[in-house]
Chains A and B, each alone.
Chain A
C-alpha cells in the first residue's frame, strides 16, 4: 500500500487498469471452473479480451496521438491470417509455443503494414490518416477474399484468385480458401493466454504514455507547431504510436483467429473498425480504463439484448446514446470523480493503519 500512496496519479490509473483486468480474469475463470456460466458467454470470453486489446491500442492512436484511424480491423485481419499460417506451419510444436510465435509474427506483420501506411500519410497534417486507413481496411479485406494459401511438404504456397494455381502435392492441405476464409484452424488460444496478452499490451501502452516518448506524442497532439519548435519531430512520434498500435491490433487478431475454427475475411470489415472506435469514444478518448470497460460491456450487450430480437440493434443504439449523455453530464461526472477520490483515499488510509 505504501507503493500505492507514493505513486503518481498516472501510475495509480495504470495500476487500476491492471487490477480491473486481473479481477475480470479471476471472476470469469472461477465461473468457468465452477461451470456456472452459459456456454454462449464462455465462448465470448476470448473475443471480449481481443476487443479490449483492440480498444486500448486504438486509443493510443485516437486518444494519445490525436489521429483518427478507421481501419483498425484491417490490422487485426493481417495479424489473424498471419497467425493462421504460422500456426499451421508449426503443427509439430507444443500449443503454447505455437500460440506465442503466432502472436509474435502476427503482431510483427501488422506493425510492418502500419509502418508502410504511415510513411506517406503521417507526413501530412490533417485528417488524411482517417481516409487512408479506411481505404486500407477495405483493400486488405478484398485481398484476403482472393487469397488462397496451402501447405505441403515443400512449404507454403500462395495463389491469387485461383485455387488451382497453388501447385501443391496431392497430400497438401489448403488452409486459406479465398472468400471462405481460413478453415480447420486448431483452437489453441486460451482465456488465460488472452488475459496475459491484454496485460502485456496495457503495460506497454501505459509505460509508453508515461515516458519521454509518450510526452512527445501528446505534445505533438496538443500543439504541433510548438512541439516542432521544441525539437520534436511529429513524423517520428506519430509513426511510433501508429506502428505500436497496429502491432497490438495484429496480436489481438492472432489470438482471435486461433480461438475459432473458421475465419472469414468479411469479419474484419468497416463495421468492426467502427465498433472498436465506438469503444474508444464511449469509454472516453485517451482513457484506457474507459476503453476496457466499454469494450467488455459492448461486446456482451448484443448477446444480452437477444430477447429484444428484431429491436436488438435499436436498443443497442439507445444504450449508446444514454451512456454518452450520462458521461457528458458535468454534475454526474463530478460526483463520480469525488467517489473515486474517496475510494482511493480509503485504500491509502487502510494501508497507513497497518
Chain B
C-alpha cells in the first residue's frame, strides 16, 4: 500500500485542528456541538469537527456508531437537534440539502443511489446541472445556447469520467454497471457538482484490494487536481491509514479520539472500541 507521508496537525482558532498546509486558509466545514435525537435516542452528541481547505479526513468507528447519520446531518437530510454547521463560514441553519450542495458540499451514498435508468453520461450531466447555463425554453426550442452548453457538458462529463477511466462506458445505463464501477460513478457525479468538500460514504465497500489501491490513488488525485477537501467514512483501515491526514473516531455517537493516523493507531480507547476490553 502506498502511504501518504504523515503531516503535522496544527491548532486553528477554534477547538479544532487542521493539517499545517491549510492553517492559513479558512475552514471548508466547521461543526460545533452537533447532535441529533431520534425520539428518546441520542444518535449523535457533541460532535465537533473542522476541515481544512485541502484536507483528507477519515471518519471511522464500529458499526452503528453514527457515521452516516453525521453525513446526513452535514448535508441537511436531517436537521440537527443541537449545534451548528458552518460551511465556508456561513451557518446552515434551516437550509435544505439542495442549498447545502450549492454551497459546495457533495456526497456519495453508502447504499448506492444512482439514477438507474439513465446512462452513465446522463448521471454525470445531472451532477453538472447547475453549471450548464441554458434556460428551459432554450432547451425546448433548441436555441444555440442549448447546443453550445450541451456540447460543453458532454465534453466535461467525459473528462470527469476519465479520472476513473470510465469514459468508454458513457452510454451504458447506470444499473448495468458492476458494483465497483457504480461506486466510482457516484464519486464522479458528486465531483461534477463542483464541491469544495466531498463526502464519501464507504467508497471502497465491495472493492477488491487492487481496486481499493487504485481508489486511494484516485482520491489523492482528485484532491490535488481540484484542490478540495475530502471527508470519508471507511472500514478499510489500509485505505484510511494510507490517505487520511486526520482521523476522527466515533463510538455510540460521540467522538472518542481525533488525530493523525499514528496517534489513532496507538490510542487505547480506539483499540478498546474496536476490539473490546481485556478481561481477567
Contacts and interface: CB of A to CB of B under 8 A. Distances in A.
B129 A216 contact: yes
Interface in B63-107: 75, 77, 96-98, 101-102, 106-107
Given A222-B117, A228-B98, A231-B130, A212 B139 contact: yes
Contact of A211 (B116, B117, B136): B136
A207 B140 contact: yes
A111 to B, nearest CB: 14
Contact of B117 (A214, A218, A229): A218
Contacts of B102: 231
Contacts of B149: 212
Interface stretch (B118-126, B207-215, B230-238, B264-272): B118-126
A102 to B, nearest CB: 22
Interface string A25-49: 0000000000000000000000000
Given A219-B126, A229-B97, A232-B126, A212 B134 contact: yes
A172 to B, nearest CB: 41
Nearest to A236: B98
B193 interface: yes
B146 interface: yes
Contact of A231 (B98, B136, B150): B98
Contacts of B130: 231
Given A207-B141, A208-B136, A231-B193, A226 B115 contact: yes
B60 interface: no
A240 interface: yes
A229 B126 contact: no
B125 A215 contact: yes
Nearest to B136: A213
A81 to B, nearest CB: 27
Interface magnitude class on chain B: 35 or more
A212 B113 CA distance: 20
A223 B114 contact: yes
B142 A230 contact: no
B109 interface: yes
Contacts of B23: none
B127 interface: yes
Contacts of A214: 139
Interface in B7-66: none
A219 B115 contact: yes
Interface in A186-245: 204, 207-208, 211-216, 218-219, 222-223, 225-233, 240
Interface of B: 75, 77, 96-98, 101-102, 106-107, 109, 113-118, 122, 125-127, 129-130, 132, 134, 136, 139-142, 146, 149-150, 153, 189-190, 193
21 contacts: A208-B136, A211-B139, A212-B129, A212-B136, A215-B122, A215-B125, A215-B126, A215-B129, A219-B118, A222-B117, A223-B113, A226-B109, A227-B126, A229-B97, A229-B101, A229-B107, A230-B101, A230-B106, A230-B126, A230-B127, A230-B193
Given A215-B118, A218-B118, A222-B118, 6 more contacts: A211-B140, A212-B136, A222-B114, A223-B116, A231-B102, A231-B193
